[in-house]
Amino acid sequence: MNGEAANVLLYGYGNPGRGDDGLGPALAAAIEAMAMPGIDVDANYQLTVEDAAEMGRYAAVVFADAATEGPSPFWFSRIDDSSIGRLGWTSHSVSPVQVVALARDLFGSKVAAYALGIRGYAFGELDEGLSAPAKDNLGQAVAFARRALGERRFEHYAREFGHPAAGLATSGPTWKA
Partner 1 sequence: MSVAKRIVIEPVTRVEGHGKVVILLDENKKVISARLHIVEFRGFERFIQGRPFWEVPVLVQRLCGICPVSHHLAAAKAMDRIVGGENLTPTAEKIRRLMHYGQMYQSHALHFFHLASPDLLFGFDADVAIRNVIGVAGKYPALAVQAVLMRKYGQEIIKATAGKKIHGTGAIPGGVNKNLSIAERDVFLRDADQQMTWAQSAVKIAKDYTVANLAKLAPFGSFDSNHLSLVRADGAMDLYHGNLRAIDAEGKVIFDQVDYQSYVDFIAEEVRDWSYMKFPFIRSIGPEKGWYRVGPLARLNTAKFIDTPLAEAARKEFIAVTSGKPNNLTMAYHWARMIELVHAMEKIHALLNDKDLQGTDLVVKGERREVGIGLLEAPRGTLFHHYKVDKNDQVVSANLIVSTTNNNEPMNRAVAKVAQDHLQGVEITEGLLNHVEVAIRAYDPCLSCATHALGQMPMELTLVDYQGQILDRKSRG
- Residue 42 beta carbon to partner 1: minimum distance, rounded to whole angstroms: 8
Burial of 62 (0-12, 13-18, 19+ CB in 10 A): buried
The full length of the chain comes to 177
Q: Which of 10, 20, 30, 109 binds partner 1 (CB under 8 A)?
A: 20
From the list 8-16, 32-40, 138-146, 154-162, the region that binds partner 1 by CB under 8 A is 8-16
Does residue 72 bind partner 1 (CB under 8 A)? no
E-state strands within the chain: 8-13, 39-44, 60-67, 74-79, 112-119, 175-176
Instruction: Give the type of residue at 84.
Output: I
From 7, 46, 72, 131, residue interacting with partner 1 (rule: CB under 8 A)? 46
Compare residues 3 and 86 and give the one whose CB is closer to partner 1: 86
Q: What's the rounded Cα separation, in Å, for the pair 157 and 76?
A: 7
The type of residue at 144 is F
Binding test (CB under 8 A) with partner 1, winner from 6, 8, 11, 13: 13
State how far the Cα of 171 lies from the Cα of 53, in Å rounded to an integer.
22
Pairing verdict, β 175-176 and 74-79: antiparallel
Out of 11, 30, 62, 117, the only residue in the binding site for partner 1 (CB under 8 A) is 117
Pick 53 or 152: Cβ nearer partner 1: 53
93 binds partner 1 (CB under 8 A): yes
Under the rule (CB under 8 A), what is the footprint of partner 1? 13-18, 20-21, 23, 25, 42-50, 52-53, 65-70, 84-93, 98, 101-102, 105-107, 115, 117, 120, 123, 125-128, 166, 168-173, 175
